[in-house]
């Protein structure tokens, strides 16, 4: 009898956990944060492309801060602020140096990070760069490191290096004398932030508190779902951290921005703004909007894939 009761309890809990992520129509009104922030519609309707650099967390943090500032912010600058903060802390720097050593990228530039920390560091560093031309070439930031290494190996002259940077990264004003002293001879994570700041228009970011919603293990799922929905209802985007194996044939941790919700064909779905440009290499059943670089995922899968959500208040 005790065993039967235990089995019933386990079954009831498992059933409750599964159904708690399946929303009904009354819980799933149509929401698009672009309707709440019309001045930012163009920004959130333009595909973001991180290219081959692992700054997805910076893109998501920049999206959250963009809504607070009311002006599109630069994900490249937010990410470089994050990397500069890592360099200023011994334990963080050690952790990233070890990670860089073993991840096989061979890059000096730090990649990967946390949405909340990126947002906090950007607020500390305020004012930060508005979104600008350099953000169209974020995927070419790695060329800075390549150029740096080629100068150190005497494969490029200082003049050739500056000409190459000016050609590859428009909107960056590179003067040979200062560039060689301030950039080539130093760690890229120490110099990139100031270089980007010197070549952009800056804007103050209002101070906000960063909050993280971790996925509940057993209890509190209703409150968790309600909080996500309440934030979207109020026009707040959420940073979402997850493994891309849920949405593609790849694997690895990733960050994106939740920007909407809808009721569609008897299912509740969430709209996630990605950083893969117009690419639509998703699993079957996931609707891709290549025109704005986002995709839709059904409620149960949405809450299943999320490791956590980050938001500002």
Residue 212: the pLDDT is 97
Give the CB-side neighbour count of residue 35, counting CA atoms within 13 A.
8
Residue 170: the pLDDT is 66
Average pLDDT, the chain: 87
Which of 98-102, 104-108, 194-198 ranks highest by mean pLDDT? 194-198
Q: Is the pLDDT of residue 133 over 90?
A: no
Residue 179: the pLDDT is 65
H-type alpha helices, the chain = 2-19, 33-36, 41-44, 56-69, 75-87, 90-102, 115-124, 142-152, 158-168, 176-179, 188-197, 221-233, 299-305
> Residue 171 — very low, low, confident or very high, per pLDDT cuts 50/70/90?
low
Token pair recorded at residue 40: 């930012």
Residue 177: the pLDDT is 59
Q: Give the model confidence (pLDDT) of 60-82 as tens digits.
A: 999 999 999 999 999 999 999 99
> Residue 245 — very low, low, confident or very high, per pLDDT cuts 50/70/90?
very high
Residue 16: the pLDDT is 43
Q: What is the DSSP string of 59-100?
A: HHHHHHHHHHHTS-B-HHHHHHHHHHHHHTSHHHHHHHHHHH
Residue 73: the pLDDT is 97
More confident residue, 303 or 145: 303
Region 248-272 average pLDDT: 96
Region 255-273 average pLDDT: 97
More confident residue, 132 or 185: 132
Ordered domains of the chain (ranges, CATH)? 24-36+211-312 (3.90.70), 51-203 (no CATH)
Percentage with pLDDT > 70 across the chain? 87
Q: Give the model confidence (pLDDT) of 177-219 as tens digits.
A: 566 666 666 788 888 888 888 888 999 999 999 999 999 987 8
Question: Of 161-165, 205-209, 288-292, which gets the smallest average pLDDT?
Answer: 161-165
- The dihedral region occupied by 51, where left means phi > 0, alpha psi between -120 and 50, and beta the remainder, is left
Q: Give the model confidence (pLDDT) of 6-44 as tens digits.
A: 443 343 344 444 457 899 999 999 999 999 999 999 999
């Amino acid at each position: 009898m005790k065993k039967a009761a235990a089995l019933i309890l386990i079954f009831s809990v498992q059933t409750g956990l599964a159904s708690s992520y399946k929303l009904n129509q009354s819980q799933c009104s149509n929401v698009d944060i672009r309707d709440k922030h019309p001045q930012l519609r163009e920004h959130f309707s333009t595909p973001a492309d991180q290219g081959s650099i692992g700054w997805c967390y910076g893109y998501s943090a920049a999206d959250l801060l963009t809504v607070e500032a009311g002006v599109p912010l630069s994900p490249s600058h937010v990410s470089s602020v994050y990397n500069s903060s890592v360099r200023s802390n011994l334990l963080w720097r050690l952790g990233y140096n070890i990670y860089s050593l073993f991840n096989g990228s061979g890059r000096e530039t730090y990649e990967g990070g946390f949405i909340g920390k990126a947002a906090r560091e950007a607020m500390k560093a305020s004012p930060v760069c508005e979104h600008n031309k350099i953000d169209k070439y974020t995927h070419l930031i790695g060329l800075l490191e390549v150029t740096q290494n080629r100068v150190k190996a005497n494969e490029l002259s200082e003049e050739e290096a500056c000409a190459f940077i000016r050609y590859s990264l428009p909107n960056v004003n590179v003067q040979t004398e200062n560039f060689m002293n301030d950039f080539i001879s130093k760690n890229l994570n120490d110099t990139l932030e100031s270089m980007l700041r010197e070549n952009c228009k800056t804007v103050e970011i209002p101070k906000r508190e960063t909050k993280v919603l971790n996925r509940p293990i057993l209890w509190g799922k209703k409150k968790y779902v309600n909080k996500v929905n309440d934030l979207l209802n109020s026009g707040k985007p959420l940073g979402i951290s997850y493994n891309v194996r849920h949405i593609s044939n790849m694997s690895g941790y990733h960050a994106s921005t939740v920007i909407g919700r809808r009721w569609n064909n008897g299912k509740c779905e969430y709209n996630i703004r990605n950083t893969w440009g117009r690419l639509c290499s998703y699993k079957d059943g996931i609707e891709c909007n290549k025109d704005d670089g986002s995709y839709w995922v059904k409620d149960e899968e949405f809450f299943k894939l999320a490791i956590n959500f980050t938001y500002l208040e």
